[in-house]
């Protein structure tokens, strides 16, 4: 009952916050639909390019709508002492975070699937060969980045810095998964192999190829690391020293 309540609260707050919506929905959706559309029309081999760019860009949805959104929301609520107030209710710490993570995950998955449908029609990007793996990888990736985003708040000293501090994360995730088109191919190979270890890269790889085992292991390990970090370092109240 209480997890449902925090889930509902997280969703309600998300769709109500217009400024946040602009940043965490319009930007990634614009890129994820817009870039493939552009590629489709400027490149000779348009559909292949559009497909490539679309899958890369889903890493942006994961890292902006998933990671950045939860990191900003949680650090703001921490600094405004809202998390503290929530903790004065019957909710357990786990329910508070799980509700927030679950609502972030829903939004992220909905956007990725929405973008998939959109690019099918505007840029002729074919539906994935294995839709089950696509959805599972989206879900797994979304859970993973939301957990990591919650853990990341421990490193954010003040809420004003939250958005700025997540920029490098989504740049790296975006480039690493190929969202910036050919940019990835210009990088030295060791950088590329490091990028391949990112959870967003693993999720995108699974979505694109339908391969499941290795990406699932990658996501599970990152998620576990995030949970451990939350346990060790998550701060419910602003720093006072």
Partner 1 sequence: MTAIQVSGLVKRYGAFEAVKGVSFEVAEGEIFALLGRNGAGKTTTVEVLAGFQRPDEGTVRVLGLDPAGQRGEARRRTGVMLQEAGFFPDLTVARTVDTWRDFTAAARPRDEALRLAGLAHKAGTKVRQLSGGEKRRLDLALATLGRPEVLFLDEPTTGMDPEARRDTWELVRGLAADGATVLLTTHYLEEAQRLASSLAILDGGAIVAAGGMAETLAAQSGRVAFRMPPGVAPDELPLPVTLEGELAVCRAEDPDLAAQTLLSWAAGRGLRLTGLDVRAATLEDLFLDRSTS
Give the residues lining the site for partner 1 (CB under 8 A): 1-2, 4-6, 8-9, 12-13, 16-17, 77, 80-82, 84-92, 241
If the CB atoms of residues 9 and 229 are measured against partner 1, the closer one turns out to be 9
- Give least dist CB 102 to partner 1, A: 15
- Give least dist CB 235 to partner 1, A: 13
- Give least dist CB 4 to partner 1, A: 8
| Token pair belonging to 30 | 């614009």
3-state secondary structure 80-109: CCHHHHHHCCCCCHHHHHHHHHHHHHHHHH
CA Rg value for the chain = 18
Q: Other C-beta atoms within 10 Å of 193: how many?
A: 9
If the CB atoms of residues 99 and 199 are measured against partner 1, the closer one turns out to be 99
58 vs 76: CA distance, rounded Å:
26
- Best CA proximity match to 162, nearest among 53, 93, 61, 79: 79
First vs last Cα of the chain: how many Å apart? 37
* 8 Å CB contact between 10 and 102: yes
207 vs 132: CA distance, rounded Å:
9
- Give least dist CB 122 to partner 1, A: 33
- Give least dist CB 238 to partner 1, A: 10
If the CB atoms of residues 79 and 177 are measured against partner 1, the closer one turns out to be 79
If the CB atoms of residues 88 and 189 are measured against partner 1, the closer one turns out to be 88
If the CB atoms of residues 6 and 201 are measured against partner 1, the closer one turns out to be 6
């Amino acid at each position: 009952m209480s997890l449902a309540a925090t889930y509902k609260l997280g969703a309600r707050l998300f769709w109500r916050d217009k400024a946040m919506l602009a940043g965490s929905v319009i930007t990634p959706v614009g890129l994820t639909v817009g870039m493939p559309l552009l590629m489709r029309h400027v490149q000779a081999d348009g559909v292949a390019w559009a497909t490539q760019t679309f899958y890369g860009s889903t890493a942006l949805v994961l890292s902006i709508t998933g990671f950045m959104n939860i990191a900003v929301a949680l650090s703001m609520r921490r600094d405004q002492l809202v998390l503290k107030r929530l903790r004065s209710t019957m909710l357990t710490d786990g329910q508070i975070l799980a509700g927030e993570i679950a609502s972030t995950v829903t939004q992220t998955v909905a956007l990725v699937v929405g973008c998939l449908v959109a690019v099918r029609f505007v840029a002729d990007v074919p539906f994935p060969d294995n839709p089950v793996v696509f959805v599972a990888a989206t879900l797994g990736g979304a859970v993973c980045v939301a957990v990591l985003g919650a853990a990341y708040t421990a490193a954010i000293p003040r809420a004003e810095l939250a958005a700025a501090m997540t920029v490098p994360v989504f740049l790296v995730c975006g480039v690493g998964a190929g969202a910036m088109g050919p940019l990835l191919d210009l990088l030295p190979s060791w950088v590329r192999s490091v990028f391949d270890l990112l959870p967003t890269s693993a999720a995108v790889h699974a979505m694109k190829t339908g391969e499941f085992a290795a990406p699932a292991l990658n996501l599970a390990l990152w998620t576990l690391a995030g949970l451990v970090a939350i346990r060790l370092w998550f701060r419910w109240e602003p720093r006072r020293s």
